[in-house]
Structure 1
Amino acid sequence: MKVRVLLLCVALAGCSSPGKLKEEAPAVRLQSTQSPSVYMACLLPRWQSYRPSAAVREIRLGYRLIMPAAAGDSAQALVEVTATDKGSDVTLYRRDSPVPDDAITAAVRSCL
């Protein structure tokens, strides 16, 4: 019985991982002249104003910002910002189909 519960928990954790968002095509791909740290310093407080539990993690060559869904552990949106020769590549992944001018996408664009 304990093994079944453990397997169920592992399976559910895999379903809610940010990696699932990355299986879909990005909602938005942009370039910024700012470094990943400067861009993230702009974006993080904006996303936290919509969802205080939004959290940033350092990844290879940049940062990943995850906005959890309103209910549950799943990720609603994910932004990866990676360093380039001229600044940063910014990639937004969304669970739902975003409206081009919704608050999450607008925040991503406003920090460029």
Structure 2
Amino acid sequence: MRFLMAGLGLVLLAGCVTTADLEGNKPSISVVSKRDPKQYAMCVFPKWQAARTDSFMVETTNGYRLWVANSGLADELLDVTKTPNGSLIELKQRMSWSPGLGRDAIEKSVRDCL
């Protein structure tokens, strides 16, 4: 029983990971788009939802933030930040080298919507 409780505690701690954990990662994609943040986010988000139902989007003070979570862990983080001529697009990934579920579609949509 103690092992079960200890294991459950570790699982709960792992579930506390947020998008903040990916903010320090180097972007796997960092580009500038002529589209404004809303246009870009509204292009990408439906494609993310089609690829992964666990996709989320929020409006920020200077753009939009999209992320994909899996079992409480953020796997993909896309920041769309307003610039004077459009948007700065930065995709940060937990394990960019790993072929995760829907990862190709996630990356393709980031590029296709530029």
TM-score range, shorter chain: 0.7 to 0.9
Q: Deviations over 1:13-60 (max 9, x none)?
A: 54x100101121111101100000000110000000011121101112
What 5-or-longer segments of structure 2 have no aligned partner? 1-7
Q: Which residue of 2 aligns with 1:104?
A: 106
TM-score, normalised with respect to structure 1: 0.81
- State, as a whole percentage, how many aligned pairs show the same letter: 31
Partners of 1:48 and 1:103 in 2: how far apart?
10
Moved over 6 A (4+): none
1:74, CA displacement in angstroms?
Answer: 0.4
2:3 corresponding residue in structure 1: none
Q: In structure 1, list runs of 5 or more residues that go unmatched.
A: none
Aligned Cα RMSD in Å?
2.3
**Number of aligned residues:** 102
Work out whether residues 47 and 105 of structure 2, in 8 Å CA contact, stay in contact via their aligned partners in 1: no
Aligned residue number for residue 63 of structure 1: 64
